[in-house]
Amino acid sequence: MNHIVEAIGNTPLVKLNNVTDGIKGTILAKVEYFNPGNSVKDRMALKMIEDAEKAGLLKPGGTIIEGTSGNTGMGLALAAIAKGYKCIFTMSDKQSKEKQDILRAVGAEVIVCPTNVAPDDPRSYYSVARKLNQEIPNSIYPNQYDNPSNSAAHYETTGPELWQQTEGKITHYAAGVGTGGTICGTAKYLKEQNPNIVTVGLDTYGSVFKKYKETGIFDENEIYPYKTEGIGEDILPKNVNFDLIDLFIKVSDKDAALMTRRLAKEEGLFVGWSCGSAVYGALEYAKEHLKEDDTMVIVLPDHGTRYLGKIYNDDWMREQGWL
Ligand SMILES: Cc1ncc(COP(=O)(O)O)c(C=O)c1O
């Protein structure tokens, strides 16, 4: 390969064997930590940059500014190295310290912002990113939440990969929902191949998605702090197309953390926290609805190294009262 970004995509699909006790049908995990930035977000980061270049929005020597929970930043940083851009990332202070250090290691400037402020508060990581974009000449703010290149990356890569890897046998598709790019881009492709495929979105307690899907109401009472990183939102990103997500299941921080640790110990999959959310929630659905011949794919977005100080740290787990 000419550059590490060419290694993005074509990640393996791996059968889950031990956490699936009592479930009919086949459960497969799309293991996205095989991407060079160790997460699913490499796919859309590269596409957002390439589409911005094609549209003439990003010019040589430019600066990429983004609000990120870490993984998108990593993908953008790799793309920026390949193409010679600078990166400035804003991140909320609830994200792992590891994620900040990793982004600095690949040459990005990182600005940490408070988590518990409203999205339109000038201190929020969304607002700080927007302001920097206005102030810094020749900068772009890809805005992964509303940028259609995000979903398009998954429509073009993740969807076709799953269709080919399962030889068209996929019947259910489950993924955590943050910006919505992963689930909706992939689901759009899969439902075009087979409209009967069911898509399950995993949400957190403290997020607006599930209630919005079920009632059409954006309920501010649903919003409160939670600890799981990367999924659930206090906004409705344009990349979330509710017509493509058949149902949402909420998973608690604790259930997600414990399932993530089981994936490492029982499946050999040393994955990130939202992977536990995805598997816990998807298996809840699978227990009730999956039949013998069904094939469910669950997306595992990132790698366990980013959570060594949290869910893989027994002291931290005990402090939460989770061990
Ligand atoms: C760890 C992790 N899990 C899940 C997601 C959700 O993916 P998406 O933004 O495509 O909905 C993200 C996105 O940032 C993430 O970083």
Task: Of 266, 250, 256, 233, give the one whose Cα is nearest residue 307.
Answer: 256
Mutate to test the pocket of ligand 1, among 244, 274, 306 (most ligand atoms within 8 A of CB): 274
Q: Ligand 1, atom 7: nearest CA belongs to which residue?
A: 178
Q: What is the pLDDT along the chain (323 residues), one digit of tens a residue?
A: 999 999 999 999 999 999 999 999 999 999 999 999 999 999 999 999 999 999 999 999 999 999 887 899 999 999 999 999 999 999 989 887 888 899 999 999 999 999 889 989 999 999 999 999 999 999 999 999 999 999 999 999 999 999 999 999 999 999 999 999 999 999 999 999 999 999 999 999 999 999 999 999 999 999 999 999 999 999 999 999 999 999 999 999 999 999 999 999 999 999 999 999 999 999 999 999 999 999 999 999 999 999 999 999 999 999 999 99
Residue 172: per-residue pLDDT: 99
Q: Which atom of ligand 1 is nearest to the CA of 144?
A: 9
| CA 314 to centroid of ligand 1, rounded, Å | 25
Asked if residue 37 has its Cβ within 6 Å of ligand 1, the reply is no
**Given this chain, do its domains 4-34+153-319 and 41-140 carry the same CATH topology?**
yes
Does the annotation mark 41 as catalytic? yes
Q: How is residue 112 annotated by DSSP?
A: E
Cβ(96)–Cβ(312) below 8 Å: no
Residue type, 234: D
The CATH topology of domain 41-140 is: Rossmann fold (3.40.50)
Instruction: Please give the distance, rounded to the nearest whole angstrom, from the Cα atom of residue 230 to the centre of ligand 1.
Output: 4
32: Cβ below 6 Å to ligand 1?
no
What gap in Å lies between CA 17 and CA 148, rounded to an integer? 36
CATH class of 4-34+153-319: alpha beta
Which 3 state secondary structure label does DSSP give 250?
A: strand
What letter would DSSP give residue 206? T
Kindly state if the Cβ of 282 falls inside 6 Å of ligand 1.
Answer: no
Please say whether the beta carbons of 51 and 44 come within 8 A. no
Q: Are 209 and 177 in contact (CB under 8 A)?
A: yes
Kindly list the domain boundaries of the chain, sorted by start residue: 4-34+153-319, 41-140
Please tell me which residue in 24, 30, 41, 254 is annotated as part of the active site.
41
